């Protein structure tokens, strides 16, 4: 199962093409670009060109008008929308939310297709632990979670991922689950059993104060030095020390880190890797591996927030400066529709923009350790479900190809109770970049053409689905240059994150980066935390949602 270098369109993308999964037959690349010219699609990237104006300062230097309000929120991703949601619940309505993109939601946006919407990135929510109180409150508002007068909670089962949830293509064959005994040799089975027992002990362990060692939100985890020391070694070194040497088990650990962190076990800390497996317990609603999914992914939450706070949101606004002012903070932004520079003078501001923007907006020295993993995702609109090379006879929501540089794909129509493989469907394909300089990867991604990625995506998939080119009608590609924060060694519990969370007068910081993990629960926690800190600063007493 060797990977190969893929040279296409004059752009070398090492490891993007792949030879694994082709054991069942040879892949034909005979179809030329001209023959495939009827395939539609486009790059659906965030507004890089607008965001990069912060580097070039290509915008008006003087505001043409000044507005005043009590509060302003910078950024309309999950953290910014959660902050707005909290303010509105507290009765604070004199605020506005500024977002660069035309659509709100950040990584939780989706694309619309004739058959269904489909996510561009964030596509599921694990069942929230009891500590994730604000998440559970949102789910209750959405009608997904029901809480009785006696406190008993239950889920609307229709929102749980239908079976089969995941499958793995390994040596020319599909297997249900990602670490099946069927793909492990005798020694691998022994190690996998030891690994599961090891994780169970971590999940059940408590410190002297009764805290979980690994909680989610991360804020509620144990602070004992003996456990935080796990952040100072890599997950790879930790696995070596445990004797986890099975190639299949090590692939599984790497897959987990790529999936949630956009990094390998060599790049992510042992604390982060163990947190991935041991932090979730189902919160009394189900098992630790149960998840909530929707065709459009986590865009479902964006719609819910927008229904509540949409009248306060201003899309297509590029924030260019944030400076202390006699009444609080002065926020300047460029209205991308009118091209004018506008100033908002507010008593408080919540900054839910990524941390790497702060040197440009606040004139700060860059914080150390903040490393962002680049991603590429692709949405494939298909006439019907493609053939399986080995005729598996079933398709899962999440479909993974062993040892592929991609993470495989999820199926937007999987939750349809009347799912029919002969009907149109939409898949979302995911590709993180590991063990490379993120800066260099971002440069290559910006230079890549849509046609390059069409060939890379289809080549990856046709080793498993030989007629993927015949049934694919449209393929949209999204480049996420700063897709997610990576929990590198000695970052999660280091001084840089603590310092970045510290408020500056009337400005409070709420981006999910401040948890060091790009997870829905963390983004919401940070947004709500910042909103409640700002309310307290304004002298408003509220019951905490956290």
Compute the distance between CA of residue 313 and CA of residue 53 in angstroms, rounded to an integer.
Answer: 22
Identify the pLDDT of residue 331: 97
Identify the pLDDT of residue 392: 62
For residue 12, is pLDDT > 60? Answer: no
Strands 65-74 and 341-351: parallel
What pLDDT band is residue 257 in, cutting at 50, 70 and 90? very high
What pLDDT band is residue 38 in, cutting at 50, 70 and 90? confident
Q: What's the pLDDT tens digit per position in 479-529? A: 999 999 999 999 999 999 999 999 999 999 999 999 999 999 999 999 999
What pLDDT band is residue 420 in, cutting at 50, 70 and 90? confident
Compute the distance between CA of residue 72 and CA of residue 221 in angstroms, rounded to an integer.
Answer: 31
CA angle 373, 375, 378 (to 5 degrees): 170
Query: How many residues in the chain?
Result: 546
Compute the distance between CA of residue 529 and CA of residue 86 in angstroms, rounded to an integer.
Answer: 9
What pLDDT band is residue 267 in, cutting at 50, 70 and 90? very high
Token couple for 314: 């201003």
Identify the pLDDT of residue 236: 98
Mean local confidence (pLDDT), 239-246: 98
Question: Residue 493 contacts by C-beta under 8 Å, 6 or more apart in sequence?
Answer: 228, 231, 271
Of 29-43, 267-281, 313-327, 405-419, least confident by mean pLDDT is 29-43
Compute the distance between CA of residue 133 and CA of residue 138 in angstroms, rounded to an integer.
Answer: 9
For residue 93, is pLDDT > 50? Answer: yes
Identify the pLDDT of residue 151: 85
Identify the pLDDT of residue 29: 31
Identify the pLDDT of residue 532: 98
Query: What 3-state class would DSSP assign to 277?
Result: helix
Mean local confidence (pLDDT), 398-403: 95
Q: What's the pLDDT tens digit per position in 448-477? A: 999 999 999 999 999 999 999 999 999 999
Percent of the chain clearing pLDDT 90 (strictly above): 88
**End-to-end Cα separation, the chain, in angstroms:** 47
pTM, full prediction: 0.92
Identify the pLDDT of residue 37: 59
Average pLDDT taken over every residue of the chain: 91
Compute the distance between CA of residue 138 and CA of residue 78 in angstroms, rounded to an integer.
Answer: 12
Q: What's the pLDDT tens digit per position in 202-222? A: 999 999 999 999 999 999 999
Identify the pLDDT of residue 304: 98
| Residue among 46, 176, 126, 40 at smallest CA distance from 446 | 46
Token couple for 140: 């209750």
Question: Residue 442 contacts by C-beta under 8 Å, 6 or more apart in sequence?
Answer: 374, 481, 482
CA angle 375, 135, 331 (to 5 degrees): 65
The H or E element that residue 530 is part of is helix 520-537
For residue 36, is pLDDT > 50? Answer: no
Q: What's the pLDDT tens digit per position in 120-179? A: 999 999 999 999 999 999 999 999 999 998 889 999 999 999 999 999 999 999 999 999
For residue 26, is pLDDT > 50? Answer: no
């Amino acid at each position: 199962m060797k990977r190969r270098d893929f040279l296409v369109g004059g752009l070398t993308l090492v490891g993007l093409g792949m030879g694994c999964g082709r054991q069942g037959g040879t892949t034909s690349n005979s179809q030329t670009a001209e023959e495939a010219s009827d395939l539609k699609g486009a790059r659906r990237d965030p507004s890089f060109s607008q965001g990069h104006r912060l580097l070039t300062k290509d915008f008006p230097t003087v505001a043409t008008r000044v507005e005043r309000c009590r509060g302003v929120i910078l950024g309309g991703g999950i953290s910014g929308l959660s902050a707005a949601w909290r303010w509105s619940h507290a009765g604070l309505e004199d605020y506005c939310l500024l977002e660069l993109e035309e659509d709100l939601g950040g990584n939780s946006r989706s694309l619309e297709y004739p058959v269904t919407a489909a996510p561009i990135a964030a596509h599921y929510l694990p069942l929230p632990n009891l500590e994730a109180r604000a998440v559970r409150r949102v789910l209750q508002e959405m009608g997904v979670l029901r809480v009785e007068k006696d406190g008993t909670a239950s889920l609307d089962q229709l929102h749980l991922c239908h079976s089969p949830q995941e499958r793995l293509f390994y040596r020319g064959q599909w297997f249900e689950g990602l670490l099946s005994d069927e793909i492990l040799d005798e020694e691998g089975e022994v190690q996998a059993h030891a690994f599961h027992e090891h994780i169970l002990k971590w999940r059940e362990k408590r410190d002297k104060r009764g805290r979980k060692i690994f909680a989610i939100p991360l804020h509620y985890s144990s602070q004992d030095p003996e456990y935080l020391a796990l952040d100072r070694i890599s997950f790879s070194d930790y696995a070596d020390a445990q004797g986890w040497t099975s190639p299949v088990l090590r692939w599984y650990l790497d897959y987990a880190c790529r999936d949630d962190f956009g990094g390998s076990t060599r790049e992510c800390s042992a604390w982060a890797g163990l947190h991935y497996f041991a932090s979730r317990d189902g919160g009394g609603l189900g098992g630790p591996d149960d998840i909530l999914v929707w065709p459009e992914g986590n865009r479902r939450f964006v719609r819910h927030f927008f229904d509540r706070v949409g009248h306060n949101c201003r899309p297509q606004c590029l924030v260019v400066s944030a400076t202390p002012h006699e009444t609080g903070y002065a926020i300047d932004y460029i209205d991308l529709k009118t091209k004018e520079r506008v100033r908002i003078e507010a008593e408080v501001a919540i900054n839910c923009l990524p941390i790497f923007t702060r040197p440009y907006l606040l004139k700060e020295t860059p914080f150390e350790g903040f490393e962002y993993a680049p991603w590429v995702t692709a949405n494939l609109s298909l006439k019907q479900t493609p053939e399986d090379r080995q005729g598996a006879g079933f398709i899962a929501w999440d479909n993974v190809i062993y040892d592929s540089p991609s993470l495989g794909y999820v199926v937007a129509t999987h939750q349809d109770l009347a799912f029919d493989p002969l009907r149109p469907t939409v898949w979302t394909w995911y590709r993180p970049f590991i063990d490379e300089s993120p800066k260099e990867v971002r440069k290559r991604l910006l230079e890549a053409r849509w046609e390059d990625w069409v060939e890379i995506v289809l080549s990856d998939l046709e080793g498993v689905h030989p007629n993927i080119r015949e049934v694919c009608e449209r393929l949209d590609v999204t480049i996420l240059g700063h897709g997610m924060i990576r929990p590198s060694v000695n970052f999660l519990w280091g001084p840089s994150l603590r310092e970045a969370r510290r408020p500056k007068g009337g400005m409070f910081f709420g981006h999910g980066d401040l948890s060091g993990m790009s997870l829905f629960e963390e983004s919401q926690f940070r947004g709500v935390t910042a909103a409640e800190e700002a309310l307290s600063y304004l002298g408003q007493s509220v019951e905490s949602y956290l």
